[in-house]
Every structure is written in structure tokens, then in C-alpha cells.
Structure 1
Amino acid sequence: MKKSFVARHRRALGAILLCLVVNAAALAWFWGSRQPVVAPARDISASMLQELKQSTAPWSENRRDLSTLVSDMRDGRIASAALSDEAIYISTHDGRRYWLADQSGRVGQMLLRDYGNAGAALFPVALFDTDGEAPWYRAVLQQWPLLLLLFAGLLFAICKLRPQQPLRQDTGISFADVIGASEAKLALQDVTAYLRDPAAFSALGARPPRGVLLTGEPGTGKTQLAKALASECNASFIQVTGSDFSSMYFGVGIHKVKSLFRSARNNAPCIVFIDEIDGIGRRGEQSRSSDAEGNRIVNQFLTELDGFAPDSGVLVLGATNFPNSLDPALVREGRFDRSIAVSLPSLSEREQLFQLYAGKVKTAGAVDFAQLARNSVGLTPAAIAYIVNHAALLAARGQQRQVVMQHFVDALETCRIGEQPSGVSVLSESDRTRIAVHEAGHAIVAAALNCGRVEKVTILPRGQALGVTLVTPVEDKRLHLESELRARIQMLLAGRNAEQLYFHEVSSGAGQDLHEASKLALSMVGALGMGPKGSLLSLQAVRDAHLDSDPREALEAADDLLRQLDQECHALLLSLKPALDHIGERLLQEETVPGEDVVAAVAPFMNALPGKVSVLPGHTPHLERVAASAYDGLDPLFDLSLVEEEDEPHTGPGMI
């Protein structure tokens, strides 16, 4: 049962009421202090005090010393005097007005002593602006800089520590608006039923889920799923990030955790979405004070999760790209009960995504969304949204009123291989020839080993690359054969081998190719059991077991694998040298060669290839691009932390 508006926001209403009362009191004091105080001028002393309260300028303009005061007292010229904490103000019978400094109070004591020794009243004496008659707030107002700093600090603390305000049923996104992630949406159905009617679960004695963890690559739509779930359940939605709980002050992070869950309970049914939940971290040894604070934040988070009642109507939804970074106690059963992987969109889903985002821009002519979907294998929904938006930017850059198919194609190439830079310095003829040979080697081997669809090869700069060979996968794949991975490594080494074949010397341009090939070879040897020596030991398991191991054996096995594939690649290029000559010459003449021409150049020599080919027909690895970039230096050292147990190899640029 939901609480009333006043009950849910009683603290905020109380704070607003208090501020109104304080402001009203301050305004009353301010306007009251502006009104002149009219004192009845019963005698000359009262009249002098009234004038002093209005302005002390007539006295402050004339400063005298002690001799003047003594002389006037002896001659009886003083009409009235006023003593303050730091000065003495004198008015004479002839209209003169002056003052004497008296910080120590000795002059005033002397004046009062002579005044008391006299038999009769010499002249009226009054007290002006002393500590005894000063308002209580005057001493406080003298410290206004400090008060201003304290007020600013208090305001900053209130803004930082205030509870997160829920977003009430207005996310504007439903499951129908989230294209793709069909498996994740299906897994969230029972969560939707629970948030719609938590009492039904409680009546059956069923314990509803307390937390759901969404995992997947960046840009797959985890945040959109969380917002859609809140709309489907008609629930409140609070969105924070894991780093929001961190603070340089002790105890602030714990307060934020308590405030978050208190706000969620007050607005039940409610979904608390914690994006990048791995930012909370995991507990460790308290060797430093910062570690102790992080441990307390995680402990408080665990305590709040355990404190949920079965019918509280609160669900914690976490999203992360690194589930292994979470504390094991956080993801155990009973806390985050379920882990849902948000996968990449399929071919049909990518086509729907292109249609969805293209509907938001002005298009003209026939746009082949099916072709765009086929050429965007492995891209996330966020990348597809970027492609459509970049196509509109390209149309605006060309002063076009509508977006056509060519704009989408150019935007897709920009997403794959980078922006085409402007103002690039002209390369020498020898550099152009070397880049053409390098890229022709990549393209020829990719086409011969069927590593994917060769879209184009160019020696025009793109992004950080001086030349690019664009190879896209033919189908969505999650499982890769050893032959496919070996073919990918040969394709990465093909540029370097082509340079060796033509110039009998390699350049630094193959540095990034070797980097990617070495990462893949280390994964094959240390994680996938595909080394040349047949070792099945996983270095990932050794690292998880916290065992000491000598990496030299794995490095030697990876190097042996690279050398073996390098020899096979060199032999393959020798067999395809006529095709390599043809594509290299065309690149020097035309700068860009379509992928169909590369396949046609390789086709006549396929029957004469060496018998030992490291790929099975019909299988293609997940490959994005092989690029030739600027001749920059690269650190040749590798870290074994790059060896990960994964079912999909890394992709990246080729020539650097």
C-alpha cells in the first residue's frame, strides 16, 4: 500500500516550512532595523546619543588628544560626553565636536574618576555602543565571512547527502521500445509480475528476487531495459551509479546507501538501478583507511539488501561490464538472485534498430536496411544509433536536406575504421608503396583464407590509420574454431610478410598487427588449449588459484605458434604473388579497391594453394578491421593479464 504524498515527503515539506519561517524572521529584522529609532530628546545627553546613533561622522572628522579633553574639563567647556568601548565623543557648549581614541579604557576611567571627585555634576555623561547595550546578534554578524562559509558548506552537504529523488512512472520507455535483448526481457517477466503484485508472492510463501544483475558489453541497452522494466511495472525509478557512494569524507558513503534504500522503501514499488555497480568495489584487507571506508560501504549495502521484507516492493537492478569485479558476497543467492546477460542484437534486430533510428531523421530514396544490418555484425544498439546520427551529420556537412543511403554507408565505415582526417601531410612515394603492399597483403590473405567479407582496401588515411583493409564477418558467431583463429593470425601477419617479401625488410607499421596477433596467440595457448604443444593448462585458472607460475613456457609456446603461422602466411603469399602485385598496383593508381576485385584477383590461384591451409571452408571469425596506421613506436612487452578465458577474440587495428 502506497503512503500519502504528505507522509512520503514530510521531511522535504518540513525543511521548506523551516526555511520560510527563517526567511520571514530575517526580513522582519531587516526592515525593523532600517526604521530610525526615535528617542525622546529629554536633555542634551539623549539628544547627543540620538545623533550618534544616526551618524558619528561629525565627531569622527575631528580627532583630538588627551590635553584638549583635560583643558576643556578644567575650563567647563564640555556640554556632554559619550563613552564607548573604543572611543570618547565630546560635545562642547560652543558647538565643537571631537573624539578621542580609548582602546584600553584608561581615558574613560580617568574621566569618570574626576567626574566622581567633583562635588557637583560637571556635564552629562552617557554610554554609547558598548558591549552591555549592543544587540546580541551584532557580535555574530561581525563574523559574517565565517558564517557565509559555514552556510555554503551546509548547503553543499545537503545537496550531496540528500536522498535520490525517484522518477515516477515517466521513463517513457517500454519493453516494446527496446529492440533486441529478447532473452533478457523474457527473463524479467517474473520480476515484472512481482513488482506489480508483491503481496501475491508473499501470500504463496515465495521469496521474490531482491536483486538482478545485468551484464553485457557496453551499449547493449542495459539502462534502457531498466527504465522499460520500471514502466512495465508502474513502479518508481531511481537511477544512481556505483561511484555515487564514494566520498573523501568518512561516513558519507554509508549515509548515501542508507538514504538511497530509505527513499526506495518510501516510494515502493520501486526499482533502484545502479549503473556500473562494479564501482562499489569489493572488500579487502584494511591496510589503508580508504580500504576500510570502502569495506564499510559494501557491508552497509549488503545489510540493506538483507533487510528487505518479502512484500517491500523494492528491487535492486545492477548493471556492469565487469561482473568478476563484484564482491562475491554481493552476487550470492539471496541478494542478487539472478544474473542476466544482455547479448548483442541479431541480424533482424539490427535491421529493426536501423529502421527505428532512421525514422527520427529525414531520409530520401531507398535505404537498404538489410544491407546495413548485414554489414554491422557485432555492433551494439548504441553503435547503430551513432551510425544513424553520424549519417545525418554527414548530410548536414554536405549541405544536404535529406539523408541518403551513401551517408549511411559512409557513417558505417567511420564507425568501423574511423573518421577520414583532413589536412594530412602528403606521404612520400616510398611510403605510399609500402602501405599499398602492406594493405594488399592483408586483403589477399583475408580473401584466400575466407576470413570474412572483404569490403574494401584503401591507402587513404582513416582515423589514426594511414591505410585500411575492411573485413566484416558474414554471420553472428559466438563459437570459434581453432582453424578460424589461426587464419585470423595469418591475416594479421600478412602485411608484415608482404613487406618482407617485396622489400626484404619490415617496418614499424606492423607493430599493432603483432600486438593483436600476440594477444590472440596468448589466449589460444594460455586459455583455450590450442597451443602447438597440446598443453591444456589454463593460465586463467592458475591466476584464479593464486598460484605462482613461470610465464616463460607460455610465452615460448605463443611465440612458436606465431612463428609457425608466419611461415604458413609467407608460403601463402608466395603462391598468391601475382594477385598481390595486381592489388598493390591498383592501390597505387586508384587508392581504393573494392572487396569484390580482391576476391576476383585471388580466385584463379585458389586451386594452386599449398595443401596445408589453416581454415575450414564456410567458417569466419569475428573480425572487424585490419588497419594501417602511422609509424609510431609501440612497447613490445606484454602482460600475462591480457590472457583471458573468453569465447571471442579481441579485434583491433592492424598496422601501426
Structure 2
Amino acid sequence: MKSGKNRRWTRRGRRLLLIAFAALAAVMIAMVTAGKADKPSSQTGIVYQMRQDPSRWARTEKDASRMLADIHDKRVAAIGVTLDAILVSTKDGARYFVTDRFAVFSQSLLLNAGKGQSSAPDYQIAWLPNVSIGTQTGLSSLLTVLRDSAGMLPSLLMLVLMLWYMRREMKGDATLLGEPPDMSFDDVIGAGEAKAALEDIKAYLRDPKSFTKMGIRPPCGVLMTGGPGVGKTRLAQALAGECGAHFIAITGSYFSAKYYGAGIQKVKHLFRTARKHSPVVIFIDEADGLAARTNGASGSADAESNRIINQLLAEMDGFEQNEGVILVAATNFPENLDEALRRPGRFDRIVQVRLPDVSDRLKIFEYYLSKLPSRAANIDCDRLARLTVGMSPAALSMIVNQAGLIARKQGASMIDADHLSEAVKVVRIGDVTGAQKSLDAEEVRRVGVHEAGHGIVAALLGAGVLEELTVLPRGGALGMALITKPQDKHLYRRSELEKELMVLLGGRNAEMLVFGEASSGAAQDLQEASRISLEMVSRLGFGSEGNLFSLAALPRDNAGRQIDRAVEQANALLNDINARCFELLERNQSILHEVTLELTRTETVPGAFVYDLIRKRQGVEPLLLDPTINQSAAA
């Protein structure tokens, strides 16, 4: 029992002894800490306080001269170098700090303080990397930060600008319209063939599930071809409007970029955006800007172009489903597109957008004239439609606008028939220039003979409707014979082309008949006549020798070798046509003389004047007169 009690007391004594030692240690630590807080006992203790509680030094700020004076007078006990200040403790217990941004004083003064002295400094220098003194507060602190950041601002702005520009290059400017275009096929005059070809596309965009239920592969793309200004863009907008689809309009050059690989990212971004907002019509205008892939690309530009085409091919019918997305491309040069783009499965439909016919041009004129103040009673839209054979809707719109400009220039408040007739001449040939002032009387007479030759041959052969003859220079021409077609022509017989050649050669032959020699004014006529005759003998089989082989069937390398023989046949054809034209004018020399006199006197002669002269002459073969032409002229 006694031994057990002794063991219990032993354990209790140990516990009491440990508690006593712990209490004693705590008291000693507290006394040491309190003593250090009241007064530093050594330089090491001061440095410790600087590291643990720098707020005591942050209460007082002094300038660098005071610090240097204390160092010189050996009043400094310890120095602590921080990131933005120098903490100083003097031997008499004073504490303060000196602002030292960018370590100017610590490097140039403190670290070199011992140089040139025989003994080390009597104060301690300590590096305090984790200590920061808030040297400024409020507005002064903000101004200091702004001042310090000003040097970095230009570099930061350049970096942000470069990142923004690169991001824009990667994404491009393909943005969806907020609402589908407010258009339909009814708003597009003419283009009936193109509208019919787009019916399947419209049905797919309206109800794509009706195609997938039957297992039918929906159309992927539409390639619109045709001349400039025929309305390809307007048709694409009308397609989107008919289906209530969004419309993205870009050009073929949209995919080109300054940075390698940016074009591919543009393709991906375009289709990703379209799939997200389907149904969508993507319209690529001037699609020939994509060019075609080349074998053995010679540079980075060719390689990048090939990669863009490859990515576009993959997006059109590759690994992604393009449900509700239709790609519509428009180009004037479909042969410049890559063959893989034109195959079925990419561009399923190739739609030819043709020029408007007479009835369509009539409706277009009525549409545009309804938007402007005009005297509709004296405007013959049928005649305007006949005067503008071969013109696009864009050109017709320009004619009406030009008529408004002419009316405004003349001080008229409304557009009438004279303004529209002048506008047709301005658009087809050019505006009246001041060149007539530099022509002498002999040159004006020669121009009159030349234009009279064109007009008389056209009227005699029925190669069109002679509307007007003038010796007033327009554009680059010194005179003009305005000859129009009574209707649109898509097929030409050999006899019709020969009449065209005779009309072109009529001006030169008239000069030869009256003056005995030709002038340089026939240069453009000869160029056009040479083109037509070469087409006749080399492609159309209209040569005098009956050669039916077409040079268009030959590769380009071999076609050049066979052109010499075609040129000889074309020249022979022109000589034959020229002789017939000269003979025709020689038989009607009196008409040529009277028309020339009237032209030099009045400067402008209507076509009806020429037709009246022809009717009065009994020696003219009746078969050369076309009754329909005469009726049109009389009307």
C-alpha cells in the first residue's frame, strides 16, 4: 500500500514540476518580450522587431538627408532595407523610415557606406524582403501609382491592341443580321428561271425535316452566275426573307488574312456561327476571290489558299451536319472556282441569273419611276425598255437616277421623257463633253459622214432601230449613232451577224466614199468587227470555206498555233462584207449626202428623218426594208 501511494505522489509531483517549469518559462518569455518592446536590447532585437512589427517605423517619415546625417554622426543602431523604404533605428531609440522606391538609396548609398573606411559600420544592415511600408495614402498614393504605371501603359496598350486585332482577324466581320431580310421573291423583278431553281432551297429552309424523313439529302449550296448587276445579291436576300432565315453576307476575299492560319479560323467561325443560329443563308459575293487550289504551292500564300479551300470543302459536306444552313455563292467567273467546289454535294445548284427581257425592263422602269416625281403621261416605258437592251437592273436604276440628276440640273421639278432619253445616252455612251469646241468644220463634217454611214446601213438592212444620229461628242466618242434592238436576242443567224459587221464597217466606208480615204475614227469599229468575224470562223462555223472545227475545243496551248489560219479566214470574211457595205452606200449616196448636211447643220438628227429619206427614194430594194422596224420608228 505504501509503495502504491509513493507511486501516485511521484506521478503527481512530476505533473506539478512540469506545470511549474511551464509557468516559469511563460513568465520569462513575457518579460523578455515586454523588455524588447519597451527598449531594444541589441541590434539583433531591433532587426527582429523591424521584421515582426514595422508599423512602429511607419509612423514617422523623414528625408534621406536626415538618414545620411545620422549615419555620418554614428547615431544609427540598425537599418532595415525593404522593397519600398528604409527603416532606421537610432541609438537613442528613435524610429523612422525613408521612402526608397526602386532601391535607389539602398544600392547607391547604404551598400557602399563602408567603402573607404578602415573598419566596418557600427550599425547592422538587414534585408527585409517581406516587409512593406505604406508610404503614401489617399490621393497622393493613387497619383504615385499612376505615375509609376505610366511607363508601362504604352506597352500594355500595344499588347491589348495586338491581341484585339489578332482576334478580329481570326473571327472576321461575319455578323448575323438582327432580323431576316424584309424581302421576298415578289420584290425581285424578273429572274424567273433563278427563282424556280431556288424553290427547293426555300422548301428545305422552311421545313428541313420533310427532307430527312424521306431520306433525301438536302441541298448544300447554290452557285449563282451571271454578269455584274443582274441581281444575284438581291435574290439571295429574297431567299432568306422567304424562309425567315438569318442572312450573312461576305465576299470571297473575306477569308484572306495577314496571319498564317487566320483564314482557316474564319471558315470555322463562319460555319459555327451559322449552325448556332440556323436557319441561315450564307452569301459569298465575288466567290472567285477564293481562287482555286494549286499543285506544288510555291509559297506560303499559295499554301494558305489551299488550306482555306480544303477547310471550306470539309465544312460544306464534311464532318459537321449543316442542317438549316445554305451556302449561296455568286460569281461572274465560275471557271475560276476550284472544281471540288463546283461538284454535286457542294454547290448542288448552278443558277444562271440572266439579264432582264423587255417586259422585265418595263416593270423595272415603272418600279423606279414610281419612287420619283415624274410626268408619267409623256413617258413611254416601252420605248425605254427597247432602248436599254442588254442592260442590267443596276444599270436601269442608274438611268432613272441619272434622269433625276439631269432634271435637277435643268431646274425641273419632275422627270419627263427628255430627261430619261438623255440619261440613257449618258449611261450607254457617256455625257456630252467639250470636245466639239476643239474640232474644226472639216472634222465635224467627217464625223457626220461617219455616223451617217452607220445609221443608213442599219436602217437599210433592218439591223436594229435607228434612234438618233449626233455629232456631239460623248464619253470618248466624237459622235454617235444610237441603234437599238427591237427585242432581246439569244441566238444569231449568220445573216444577222453579217448585218452587224456591215453596220460596223458603214462609218469607214462612208468616209472612203466621200473623202476617198478613212480616218482613225474607225479604230474601235474595226476592233469589234474583227472580234465578231473571228468568232464566226473559229467557233460558230460561219466561215466562207465551211470549216466546222471550233478552236474552242483545243487546249489553250494548242489553240494559239491554229489561230493564224482562223485570222486569214476572218480577214477574208471582213473583206467580202466590206465590199458589200461599200456597194450599198454607193447606191444610196444621195441619202448619205442629205443626212450629213442635216447633221452638220443641227448636230443631232432623229432616226425618223433617215427613215423618211429612205421611203422617198424609189431606187432602194424593197426587201432591204424591215416593216417592223419602220413601224417602230414611225411610232
* TM more than 0.5: yes
The yes-or-no answer on 1:47 pairing with 2:58 is no
The yes-or-no answer on 1:166 pairing with 2:176 is yes
Residue number in structure 2 paired with 1:582: 594
Q: Distance in 1 between matches of 2:388 and 2:580?
A: 31
Q: Provide Cα deviations, 1:416-472, integer angstroms capped at 9, x if missing partner.
A: 221123586431112111111111111111111111000000000112221111000
Q: Distance in 1 between matches of 2:232 and 2:481?
A: 32
Residue number in structure 2 paired with 1:592: 604
1:377-396 superposed matches below 5 A? 377-396=389-408
Q: CA deviation at 1:330?
A: 1.0
The one of 425, 441, 444 equivalent to 1:432 is 444
The yes-or-no answer on 1:542 pairing with 2:551 is no
The one of 248, 268, 271 equivalent to 1:261 is 271
Unaligned runs of 5+ in 1: 1-38, 53-58, 60-68, 91-96, 621-656
Q: Which letter does structure 2 place at the counterpart of 1:300?
A: Q
- SS at structure 2 position matched to 1:529: coil
Preserved contact between residue 168 and residue 235 of structure 1 (Cα < 8 Å): no
Q: Provide Cα deviations, 1:526-549, integer angstroms capped at 9, x if missing partner.
A: 211112222222222113686663
Q: Provide Cα deviations, 1:23-74, integer angstroms capped at 9, x if missing partner.
A: xxxxxxxxxxxxxxxx99956994126xx8xxxxxx8xxxxxxxxx999965
The yes-or-no answer on 1:296 pairing with 2:307 is yes
The yes-or-no answer on 1:305 pairing with 2:316 is yes
Residue number in structure 2 paired with 1:528: 540
1:358-369 superposed matches below 5 A? 358-366=369-377, 367-369=379-381
Q: Distance in 2 between matches of 1:195 and 1:126?
A: 74
The one of 509, 523, 526 equivalent to 1:511 is 523
Q: Distance in 1 between matches of 2:266 and 2:99?
A: 62
The one of 244, 248, 262 equivalent to 1:252 is 262
1:120-519 superposed matches below 5 A? 120-121=122-123, 142-162=151-171, 164-285=174-295, 286-307=297-318, 312-366=323-377, 367-422=379-434, 425-519=437-531
The yes-or-no answer on 1:564 pairing with 2:560 is no
Q: CA deviation at 1:583?
A: 0.8
Equivalences, count: 559
Q: CA deviation at 1:249?
A: 2.5
Preserved contact between residue 595 and residue 610 of structure 2 (Cα < 8 Å): yes
Alpha-carbon spacing, 1:195–1:70, altered in 2? closer, same or farther (3 Å): closer
Q: CA deviation at 1:236?
A: 1.4
Q: Distance in 2 between matches of 1:131 and 1:116?
A: 34
Alpha-carbon spacing, 1:79–1:535, altered in 2? closer, same or farther (3 Å): farther
- SS at structure 2 position matched to 1:551: helix
Q: Which letter does structure 2 place at the counterpart of 1:215?
A: T
Preserved contact between residue 169 and residue 262 of structure 2 (Cα < 8 Å): no
Alpha-carbon spacing, 1:279–1:618, altered in 2? closer, same or farther (3 Å): farther
Q: How does the TM-score come out when normalised to structure 1?
A: 0.76
Q: CA deviation at 1:478?
A: 0.4
Preserved contact between residue 255 and residue 264 of structure 2 (Cα < 8 Å): yes
Q: Which letter does structure 1 place at the counterpart of 2:253?
A: S
Higher helix share: 2
Q: Distance in 2 between matches of 1:114 and 1:494?
A: 111
Q: Distance in 2 between matches of 1:236 and 1:382?
A: 25
Preserved contact between residue 169 and residue 230 of structure 1 (Cα < 8 Å): no
Q: Which letter does structure 2 place at the counterpart of 1:149?
A: M
Residue number in structure 1 paired with 2:32: none
Q: CA deviation at 1:282?
A: 1.2
Q: Distance in 1 between matches of 2:548 and 2:146?
A: 81
Q: CA deviation at 1:110?
A: 2.0
Q: CA deviation at 1:316?
A: 1.0
- SS at structure 2 position matched to 1:111: coil
Name which of structure 1's ranges 450-459 and 319-328 shifts more when overlaid on structure 2.
Answer: 319-328
Alpha-carbon spacing, 1:75–1:240, altered in 2? closer, same or farther (3 Å): same
Alpha-carbon spacing, 1:606–1:160, altered in 2? closer, same or farther (3 Å): farther
Q: Distance in 1 between matches of 2:109 and 2:444?
A: 96
Q: Provide Cα deviations, 1:374-432, integer angstroms capped at 9, x if missing partner.
A: 22222211111111111111122222222222222221222222112358643111211
Alpha-carbon spacing, 1:109–1:549, altered in 2? closer, same or farther (3 Å): same
Q: Distance in 2 between matches of 1:113 and 1:44?
A: 29
Q: Distance in 1 between matches of 2:85 and 2:358?
A: 90
Q: Which letter does structure 2 place at the counterpart of 1:150?
A: L
Residue number in structure 1 paired with 2:113: 111
Name which of structure 1's ranges 447-456 and 521-530 shifts more when overlaid on structure 2.
Answer: 521-530
Q: CA deviation at 1:605?
A: 4.8
Q: CA deviation at 1:480?
A: 0.6
Alpha-carbon spacing, 1:587–1:294, altered in 2? closer, same or farther (3 Å): same
Q: Distance in 2 between matches of 1:424 and 1:133?
A: 87
Q: Distance in 1 between matches of 2:122 and 2:461?
A: 124
Alpha-carbon spacing, 1:88–1:561, altered in 2? closer, same or farther (3 Å): farther
Alpha-carbon spacing, 1:116–1:596, altered in 2? closer, same or farther (3 Å): farther
Q: Which letter does structure 2 place at the counterpart of 1:516?
A: E
- SS at structure 1 position matched to 2:326: strand
Q: Provide Cα deviations, 1:298-321, integer angstroms capped at 9, x if missing partner.
A: 111111111377771111111111
Residue number in structure 1 paired with 2:567: 555
Preserved contact between residue 83 and residue 108 of structure 1 (Cα < 8 Å): no
Alpha-carbon spacing, 1:274–1:606, altered in 2? closer, same or farther (3 Å): farther
Q: Distance in 1 between matches of 2:201 and 2:148?
A: 61
Greater RCO, 1 or 2 (C-alpha within 8 Å, sep 6+)? 1
Preserved contact between residue 166 and residue 237 of structure 1 (Cα < 8 Å): yes
Preserved contact between residue 270 and residue 314 of structure 1 (Cα < 8 Å): yes
Unaligned runs of 5+ in 2: 1-52, 89-97, 136-143, 630-635
Preserved contact between residue 277 and residue 320 of structure 1 (Cα < 8 Å): yes
Q: Distance in 2 between matches of 1:86 and 1:278?
A: 64
Q: Distance in 2 between matches of 1:98 and 1:256?
A: 53
Preserved contact between residue 614 and residue 620 of structure 2 (Cα < 8 Å): no
Q: Distance in 1 between matches of 2:471 and 2:543?
A: 35
RMSD in angstroms over aligned alpha carbons?
4.1
Q: How does the TM-score come out when normalised to structure 2?
A: 0.78
Preserved contact between residue 280 and residue 325 of structure 2 (Cα < 8 Å): yes
Alpha-carbon spacing, 1:167–1:116, altered in 2? closer, same or farther (3 Å): farther
Preserved contact between residue 454 and residue 471 of structure 1 (Cα < 8 Å): yes
Residue number in structure 2 paired with 1:11: none
- SS at structure 2 position matched to 1:239: strand
Q: CA deviation at 1:107?
A: 4.7
Q: Distance in 2 between matches of 1:82 and 1:380?
A: 86
- SS at structure 2 position matched to 1:279: helix
Residue number in structure 2 paired with 1:633: none
